[in-house]
Every structure is written in structure tokens, then in C-alpha cells.
Amino acid sequence: MVNHTSDQNAWFQQARRDPRSPYRDWYVWSRTRPRNAASGVVFPGVQKSTWSYDSLAHAWYFHRFYEFQPDLNTANPQVQAEILKIMGFWIQLGVSGFRMDAVPFVIATKGPRVRRPREQYWMLRQMREFLQWRAGESIILAEANVLPKTDMEYFGDAGDRMHMMFNFQANQHLFYSLASADTQPLCKALRATKSRPATAQWGHFLRNHDELDLGRLTPAQRATVFKEFGPEKSMQLYDRGIRRRLAPMLAGDRRRIELRL
């Protein structure tokens, strides 16, 4: 789902060239460098800031990810309408649903005065309603690496927001259990994520992303997983994850791979 565009996108190019352009407010700008520009980086060690200066716009623009990926101002009704238009385009081509990446960032409040982003959960229902109206059998699978106490905010108490969510809590503790032979943390994670609407479902997975994110584990637990599955620094990523796929992590042992699957 759309959280940002490329800095080469026609929308951004028009926005940076003309402050009166209707696309200017499609992005998030600040005349001065925000005080919290160095906080909230997604890729520590690689990304240094969430704000970059554009010499043509004479302003700073917000980017939750890399500087060549300026964030869209998703609170702008015109941007919301464009997102629904994009959904409609793919639905018309016959897709069965959408994998919505970085959901907390898509729905978060953005701007130079925002110190603690607030999730606008109503946006999820808006997308869900549009999808169900256009294709009732389609689903949205959400990528939201959040704490269990907020899971229901993404599903919706009435099951009217996301159809499915990746279960990051269970996934991270699963790899810790595999590395330590201790199943208690995994059992706890499964109990913590047990709640869901009857019409919603968890997506349980092993490896399905660019990194095996271990950020929800304690430092000691993370070190245990690193030692077992990614002992070399080149195998690790952002000091919180592993960049390897499942087969290399299990040394190509088919019996172990089949056991996990």
C-alpha cells in the first residue's frame, strides 16, 4: 500500500518545483529542520535522518524510509482518494487482495510539529469498505509489527478493518525458541496474540520479508538467535535482524527445513 513515492515521481517533482502546486500538500514539508529529525529512523546505521533538505523546494521533506522515498501526506483527502483509485485499478485487473506494508507508518500523523505520531485507525476502515464494496471476496493482509495490546486496533473490534495481519510477535519468539530449545516465550507470544475478531485471521510465517526482524526480543534473546542463525556480522542487519533466508540459516539440512515447514 502507498506510504511514499520515489523522489523521481511526477507528483514529487511538481511539488518541489512549485509551492503553489496542488501536489505540494501531497507530501510533508518543513521550512526548517525539525528538532526530531534524527529520531524514528527505520534503518539505523544506514539512514541518518527522517528529514532531508531539497534545494529546489527550499524546504525539508519527511521520509520515514530512505531520502529518495518521500512520504506521502496520507492525512490529505486527495491522497486518500488517490490510494483508493490505485486500489480500484488493481481490483479491476482481478487481484485477490493487497499486502499492506508498513501499516503503522501509512496511518500515522506526520509533520514537523508531530512529536509522537498518532495512528489514524479510521483510515483502515475506509480502505476496507472500499475494497469490500468493489470485490467482496478480496482481503487486505497487513504488515504491522506492533505490540499485542494494539492488535485489535488494526483488526477492529467489529472486524471491520484489516482482514489479516502478519504475526510478528509469534514469528520472532518462534526463532528464539528454535535457537534456545525454550518454548515458553513462544507459548506466551501465541497466548498474547490469541484475541482477534471471528472474521479475521493471523498470518503465521517463517521468512517472508527482507529481514528477519528480532526487534521485539530482549537483547539477550536476540543475541541467542544471532549466535545460532546469523553469527557473522555480515549476516545481520540494522543491529536487530538477520538478512539470511531460511535454508542457509538451517545449513541446508532438509530434515530440519521440513520440520519447520
pLDDT digits (tens, 9 = 90+) for 192-211: 999 999 999 999 998 888 89
27 or 44, which is more confident: 27
- Which percentage of the chain shows pLDDT scores above 70? 99
Check 101, 153, 160, 228 and give the catalytic one.
101
Residue 261 has a pLDDT of: 62
Taking alpha carbons only, the member of 73, 220, 202 closest to residue 146 is: 202
Supply φ then ψ for residue 165, to 5 degrees. -140, 140
Backbone angles phi, psi at 45, to 5 degrees: 90, -20
For the segment 70-94, the average pLDDT, to the nearest whole number, is 96
Residue 256, pLDDT score: 79
Average pLDDT of span 128-132: 95
Q: What share of the chain is helix, strand, coil (3-state, %, to 5)?
A: 40, 15, 50
pLDDT of residue 6: 97
For position 31, what pLDDT does the model report? Answer: 96
Residues 201 and 163: beta-carbon distance below 8 Å: yes
- AA identity, residue 258: E
Is 143 among the catalytic positions?
yes
Average pLDDT over residues 152-177: 95
CA 186 to CA 135: how far, in whole Å?
A: 36
Q: What is the pLDDT of residues 223-232, one digit of tens each?
A: 999 999 999 9
Domain boundaries, the chain: 74-260
Q: What is the CATH number of domain 74-260?
A: 3.20.20.80
* DSSP, residue by residue, 6-46: -TTSHHHHHHHH-TTSTTGGGB-EESS--TTTTSS-SSTTT
Q: Do residues 65 and 72 make contact, with C-beta atoms less than 8 angstroms apart?
A: no
Q: Is 110 helix (H, G, I), strand (E, B) or coil?
A: coil
**Residues above pLDDT 90, as percent of the chain:** 86
82 has pLDDT over 70: yes
Q: From the candidates 54, 71, 143, 151, which is the catalytic residue?
A: 143
Distance CA 251, CA 117 (A): 41
Task: State residue 257's pLDDT score.
Answer: 82
Average pLDDT, rounded, for the chain: 94
Q: Is the pLDDT of residue 260 over 80?
A: no
Q: What is the mean pLDDT of residues 116-122?
A: 93
Cα(220)–Cα(10) distance, rounded to whole angstroms? 46
Q: 52-67: per-residue pLDDT in tens?
A: 999 999 999 999 999 9
Model confidence pTM above 0.85: yes
Output the pLDDT for position 259: 72
Look at residue 11 in the predicted model and tell me its pLDDT.
97
Is 67 part of the annotated catalytic residue set?
Answer: no
Provide the pLDDT confidence category of residue 1 given band limits of 50, 70 and 90.
low
